Structures are given as C-alpha cells and as structure tokens.
Structure 1
C-alpha cells in the first residue's frame, strides 16, 4: 500500500517541481536574477512558497538549475552541429557561429543566459557562476581542439581568438540594436581567420 501511495504522489511532486523550475527559468531569462523574487516565481508557477521550498532548498538552487538547463540546451545544439559536419572542423566552426547569430536574431532573445547570469552575479561566490566558468573553459577547449583539427599553425592562439570572438558576439547582443549587431559580420571574420591560420 505504501508503495502505491508513493508512486501516486511522486508524479505530482515532479509536475510541481517542473512547473516551478519552468516559471523561474522564464522569469530569470526575461527579467534577470535579482529582479525576480520567490513571490514572483510561485505566482508564475501557480503554487506557493511551501511547495517551492519542498522542491528547492533556495532561490540560489533554482538559479543553478536554470544555468544547468540552459547549458544542456547549448550542449545539444553544439553536438548536433558537430555530428552534422563531423569530417569538416572548419565547417563545424563556421556553423557554431552561424547558430549563434540565428539564435541572437530569433524573437524573444535576451542574449545568452549564462553570460547574463555571470554579469549579474559578478563578484559573488555563487555555484551558478562557478558552473558557468567551467562551461566556458570547456568551450575554449573545444575551440582549441577544432582549431587543431582544422590544421591551425597555432591552435591555442586561434582557439583563444575564436572564443573571444564568440563571447564578444554573445555579450554585444543586448548592447546593440538588432540591425547594428556586430555579429552580423562574424561569418566573414571567421572565414578570414580560418583562411589565414589554417593550412588544411
């Protein structure tokens, strides 16, 4: 009997947790971390504080889960690009930047959630910031490996250049009007970088 009660309760708890996380993620992305309080989250999720704290220890945990979820989406997008152009590292690099621009131009875009959180929580010892820094280190590593695979004469330098270019596109999305966004020129810049630095 106990097992049947547990099995009937768990899906409901999962639904509430998912609803709270979905509400928090939408609010955090649109409005920012510090502008969104617990009251706004529970109101958006159509629940109460007791339910929130039964599922999450704190707002900080929600922020971390938000960052992890966004990172997972980011990873899946990159994996798809890598798989589609598995034999052509130069094309992989080009498509990564192409996908960045497409996302930045999409309706409802408020920039990169990870970059936004890192800027908003700058100087704070927050688990979400640590997680973002680890993810960015992985991005640098990927670019360096792609540069090496593409035959770069100095893979580390080209990888660093590409990640700086990528971050510049990401961070400038909110500071420029869409039609003036410098990333609109990034395809030509990447093409030039690859032609100048890669032997293959």
Structure 2
C-alpha cells in the first residue's frame, strides 16, 4: 500500500457518522488510482467496485478531478505522518531524521506491488498547470524541498540548498527506480546514499 494510515481520515466529518458512500468511493479510488493510474480509471469502474451509484459519487465529489485531488490530499496526510514520525524519533538530529525517513522509503520500495509515490505519479500524469491533482502534488513536493533544505541548514552544511536538493533528487530517484527494479534494486540503498551525500557535504 502507498501509506500506513487509513484514507478515511481525508473525509471531512460534520458529525459522528461519516458519509458511507463517500468512504467507499474514496477507498476504491485510492486503490485503483495508485495501482493503475488516475487517468486509466473511469468513474464507472469506481462506482461499480464501490457498489454505489454514479449520483452518489457526484454528491460527494464534484468531478473526477476533485476525487483525484481528494485521494492525493489523503496521500499527503499519510506522507507527512511518516515524515513527522521520523523527525520525532530523533529530536534535534536532522541527519538521523532524514536517514530514518529514507530507511522506511527504501524498505517500501522492496515490497511487492510498489508503485512509487502517488504524488510523483500524478505530476507525470497531469502536466497541465492548475489541474487539481497536480496542485496538491506540487504543494507536497515544494514543502518537502523546503523542509529538506532547512534540515540541511540545521546540519551545518556549507551549501544547505544544494544538499537539500540532492536529498530530494535521491528520494525521487528511489520512487522511480523502485518501480523499475523492484526487490534488490538500487532504491533499497537510498538511506545509505543519502548518508554518504550528507557526510561529503559536511566535510567540505
């Protein structure tokens, strides 16, 4: 699976009883979008698998684009949940925080059915600026870049922006190579390569 938490958390709840149809739709869309791509999956397939009607989908989501954006907002929450867990596990040690996060990334890339980062995949699928799915994904990547640069500065790097960007490139490379090579591929060593990059940057 693309994340460790339940996608249901992305549904806004106005009372104690969540909209059951919306939960089903988003859960099915999440699985299909991640496994097969957003453009490849039509609304008819989603409602069929969710066991709901098409009007039910459009009562919860104004369009397929909005459904895709909702899926990615949930993905975003899960991503930062994992990132923040790594940070919290190593207070005051940004190098260890980055390595802890990338260790988990490396392990996920070795899992059967791994399809990389849903955000990265969405950006590739939707090159047009302003598309709802692309907007959510771009915001995630920009924030990740900002955080990595800030963490590089905390490490004392002479050129923190370059180090932060280098770490981002390693992460994105792991997402893609994990899909290309699967188990035993280069993505399994992303944490080790990040540590080497950090060490070389700090040694200057």
Same fold (TM over 0.5): yes
**Counterpart in 1 of 2:57?**
52
Give the whole-Å Cα distance in 2 for the aligned partners of 1:187 and 1:74.
17
SS at match of 1:178: coil
- Report if aligned partners of 2:177, 2:186 keep a CA contact under 8 Å in 1: yes
The correspondence of residues 85-164 of structure 1 with structure 2, limited to 5 A, is: 85-123=90-128, 125-164=130-169
Which protein has the larger Cα radius of gyration, Structure 1 or Structure 2?
1
The correspondence of residues 65-84 of structure 1 with structure 2, limited to 5 A, is: 65-84=70-89
User: Is 2:184 the counterpart of 1:191?
Assistant: no
Q: Which structure 2 segments of 5+ residues have no match?
A: 1-14
What are the superposed Cα offsets for residues 26-60 of structure 1, whole Å, 9 maximum, x if unpaired? 11111111111111100111011011111111111
In the TM superposition, residue 108 of structure 1 has moved relative to its aligned partner by 3.1
**Counterpart in 2 of 1:63?**
68
SS at match of 1:110: coil
Give the whole-Å Cα distance in 2 for the aligned partners of 1:110 and 1:189.
21
Normalising by structure 2, report the TM-score.
Answer: 0.86
In the TM superposition, residue 124 of structure 1 has moved relative to its aligned partner by 5.5
In the TM superposition, residue 186 of structure 1 has moved relative to its aligned partner by 2.2
**Counterpart in 2 of 1:4?**
none
**Counterpart in 2 of 1:5?**
none
**Counterpart in 2 of 1:182?**
186
SS at match of 1:174: helix
In the TM superposition, residue 13 of structure 1 has moved relative to its aligned partner by 6.6
In the TM superposition, residue 188 of structure 1 has moved relative to its aligned partner by 2.7
What are the superposed Cα offsets for residues 116-169 of structure 1, whole Å, 9 maximum, x if unpaired? 111111236411101211110110111111111111111111111111111111
- Which of residues 17, 38, 43 in structure 2 aligns to 1:33? 38
Give the whole-Å Cα distance in 2 for the aligned partners of 1:159 and 1:12.
43
- Which of residues 18, 21, 24 in structure 1 aligns to 2:23? 18
